[in-house]
Structure 1
Amino acid sequence: MTKEEKQTKPDKTTRSSKHKNRKLYTRIKITVLSFLILGILGMLGGAGFAYYLVKDAPEFNPQSFSNLASTTNVYDRNGEFLGSMQTDGNRELIKSLNEVSPHVTNAFIAAEDKNFRNHFGINPLAIIRALYQNFIKGGVVSGASTITQQTVKLVMFPAQEQTLKRKAQEAYLALQVEKFMTKDEIMVHYLNWIYFGKSGYNNVYGIKAASMAFFGKDPKELNLAQAALLAAMLNNPSKYNPYTRLDKALEYQDYVLKEMLQAGVISESDYREARAFDIRSSIVKPKITVTGYGSYPFVISEVEQRAAEKLLTVVKYDSVDDARQALFKGGYKVYTTIDRQMQDAVEEVLGNDKNFLPNVTYTSKTGKKIENAMQQAGASLVDNSTGAVLAIGGGRDYKRDQNNHTTLPRQPGSTIKPLAVYAPAVEKKCCPPALLLMTFQ
């Protein structure tokens, strides 16, 4: 073989290297194509699943943001009307953010949706985080709702069940809301719809009603501490009610103030001043009326609580407060075991002052003077064969005392003996109904 032939003939190493390169290239191409196909299929599948979730979503209608509630009515065992649940309670509307203190909008944004002014209706990062947490827990345990989504939930989903489908529809509609409304308009609707719990027994909806109910002033006059406390209540209106759990409410108020400080909407001195403010003395006493609960306030309020707890177990809600809102606004018909004639008889007995001792004035163990105190009573009539509650006598005067004395725990003392001692003895025939016991000195 000549020298030239040796130079032109490819060696075995070169041929093997080219073959390996072609195989590697083929594998890479197949891998890339596989991932591309899987990605396309995943996108198509995701799009199809998303369509399935939102295809029967409520139609967006700006007018629905002004339709605030439908009444839920309560009926007795025979279908007779007993009363209505508090729907809107004390609801007064604001028309623009000029009607509220700047502290209000800043506090609610800091507490509920820090990026409200910048997002387009949803927060993708928060959604991814919530999806991960929900996947780990095996259910919907974490939300990612923006203020826009919360407004959609309040307006368009009165049942407010906590499901993936509802969350997807909520996000879908939030995107539409952002197209048709300004941020200020969304905030106005949000502040008009939100639920603040109870003042007395009245349900409080909307910032204007809340400001008047808890502080006795217009929302434009709220200071920083008061605005932050109202924003804190939204997280859990029952847990952070200033009448019953002010200490808990103040803990969350501090969180709201710190978030505002971190966002740069208040200064360090503003924070200290708000923390030093005596908010306890600025809270006004609740106004007690029975308007809305009709003639049977103890019955309706008890049904309200029981029905909310029942809904919480049947439908997935974020909290019992969400279940209550569904009752207040959902236009339900609630049928009870109450017998209206028996209920009227109980109401007549408890409402007759001649059946009780005169009111008294005394000094409590804490040294507080209690004036004109009313002797209280509670009564319940139960069908022993079925367990059905036929009548509830929660107290003598709902305006003066909203405690339901049929469910309020009390130390029974010796009054329990006829039920827990004597009756079982007679039932077991340990002794006859009448027994003479001789006592010897």
Structure 2
Amino acid sequence: MNWQRLTNTFSGRSTTRRKYASLLVLPLLAFLLDRLFPLPPAPRYSPIVLAADGSVLHAFLNPTQKWRMKTELAEITPALQQAIINKEDRYFRYHFGVNPLAILQAAGRNIFRNGRTTGASTITMQVARLLEPKERTFGNKLLEMLRAMQLEAHYSKAEILQLYLNLVPYGGNIEGVKSAALLYFQQPPDYLSLAQTVTLAIIPNQPRVLVLGKNNALILAERNRWLRQFQRQHLFPDQDIADALAEPLDVQRHAAPTLAPHLARRLVTQFPTQPIIRSTLRRSPQAKAEDLTRNYVRRLRELGISQASVLVVNNRTRAVEAYVGSADFQDAASAGQVDGVRAVRSPGSTLKPFLYALAVDRGIVTPKLKLPDVPTNFSGFRPENFDKSCAGEVTVERALTYSLNIPAVRVLAEVGVPVFTNKLREAGFKTVAKAAPRLGLSTVLGGCGATLEELTGLYAALADGGRYRALQLRASGSLAPTERGPAGEAPGRAALFSPAAAFLITDILAQRTRPDLPMGYQNSRHLPKIAWKTGTSYGRRDAWSIGYNQDYTIGVWVGNFSGQGSPALTGADIASPLLFDLFNLLAYNSPNNWAVPPATLDFRLVCAETGLVPGAHCPNQLIDYYLPGTSSARHCEHQKEALISGDATVSYCRACVPAAGFKRQLFPNPLPEVLAFREAQGLPSSRLPPHNPACQLVRGNEAAGAALAITSPLAHAEYVLNRGEKQQMLLSCAAGSEVHQVFWYVNDRFLRAASATERVFFRPPSGTVKISCADDHGRNVDIELQVAEM
């Protein structure tokens, strides 16, 4: 008896172990099968780029040339869920991928030919078949069932329904509810009416028969049949059903959305694995900017101008709200697929405001300071103003509003090219950063490369008090490398300029009394107040106009992608009208809120003649902004008191002034180059009488004045002369008003004496030539140049 009990005990234990073992083996077997036969890869969707509000801006075919746009869970409305589930699989939410009852019912119908022949496919089984299309056989049906159970183990019901709605066919190359909704109804699925939703629910069963746009009458009848069936099932309210039954079906296939093609391609290339990319663009400004740019360029074609690019930036968020890469993406003849927003071009004069902002922060300039505007040789570089003329002296604000080149180069020489290019590098100027060691004074005139994107971002910093942030192209998500700062860091606020400098430059650029105000805009009452700057590259190949107010910064480039210039192509005449039209379009009749002077700015009186702190002889004064503790406090010396004889024939130093018979008189004391320019132009000027010849005092310090400078020939230049034509070289100099005579030397051999304003000609020798000039006050200057013969 005891042995029997012991045997039964061990037998029971063995049975229990076998049960537990089988419970362990089954999951392990399922796990191994799942690993050996993994689910098919996720479907390849059509990349779509969304606007900031979630609407589709641009869609692309997927790699298999199908329209299969991913439907997000939020877009699957309750009405769509109910319609699909009640029509396709009423027990979808309860089964494990396979509905045994439906299989038995289908088997009975098929065997006994009782009723409609069905396959008992659940939604999950249909997903399995859509992921792996196969011939419809009994064996493949079993595989579908296994795949369906595998799908149920991996995905939630909501995700399976989402997969189904992304894969269902709608005829031709259209797959998925979202593709059908956009291509036929031009609305996303969550914006469809009940009638439209039911229409899309019935088509997948017969996509070759129920073709929208061709068989609308048949589809309408089928739609209404299902609506009445849903009404009997009390699936939707009776009034909603009645409204849906009364809704007509007048639909046809439309083209996929194609707004912002350049940005869409850029983002899709940047994020190739993301089926949905949400941009920062706003649909209305984007559509308006594209239409305005296309129509504007159409009028310019007769001038030999075929392209334009536009960028609209929200100053507060740095979000790009409109991105127009070219006037017409489809215009292959004008290279319309080139993205002009990212094309590297010469920026012309558009960098000048930032140079002056740097100079303000360094205390070099203030708005009323006068700068020389005369022909100047900067170590072999001799810039010219756009109109080939010079004014002698101009204020900083006039130099900027009139975009004068010579004063800008002079300021850059004082600020330093490395300082300027480093600031541009901080603002994300990639081409400048690469070429910085080779850049010179021509940088501020467009002698470097820049893009519309870089320039617009830089002007947005001026609108934001000098604070720079990288422009944003995506509404959310991790930043792409091109959206990062210049050193790869995430974009933050970088103070390029002080708020005071940004305000002063903005105040200057907002003036409307200037030559680059477009014709017809002088009396515009509704144009928002803006600050703007134009630019024209060398050879008139690029026309720029970039402007901003408190809300927006808009950048405009006009030209030809081929680089071909046009005589009519200037920033003022060609680019500014489009800029002003864009501001009128996007901010029409908006309040003219404007920046206020920061607390770091103050006022002071300056001499009206020079813009410097008034000296002893400055009767005419005016008010100017300045930065206390930063702006130069140098006193004005535009007039110099001299002791001269009664007949004004000689001047005296303090060592030789007689006891009587002399008088004190004020003489202009301009810079030597300004004085030389005025004399060359025949403008009124006066020099000090020659110093008392009887005075034997060495006057090195007594006569110290502005430096002597050789204005012709150019230092370090190369000259090629034709000996047969007996060509000669011009010698000229710029000297202070106290200088009356100069002495010229060639290769350290005396050539001749001349008056300070006399133009001397001579025939130079070949090779390296040293030119020296000395004045009658003991100053001298040397230059070297190269002369070759033909």
- Does the alignment reach a TM-score above 0.5? no
User: Which structure has the larger Rg over C-alpha atoms?
Assistant: 2
Shorter-chain TM-score tier: 0.3 to 0.5
Which has the larger share of strand? Answer: 2
Which has the larger share of helix? Answer: 1
TM-score (norm 1): 0.43
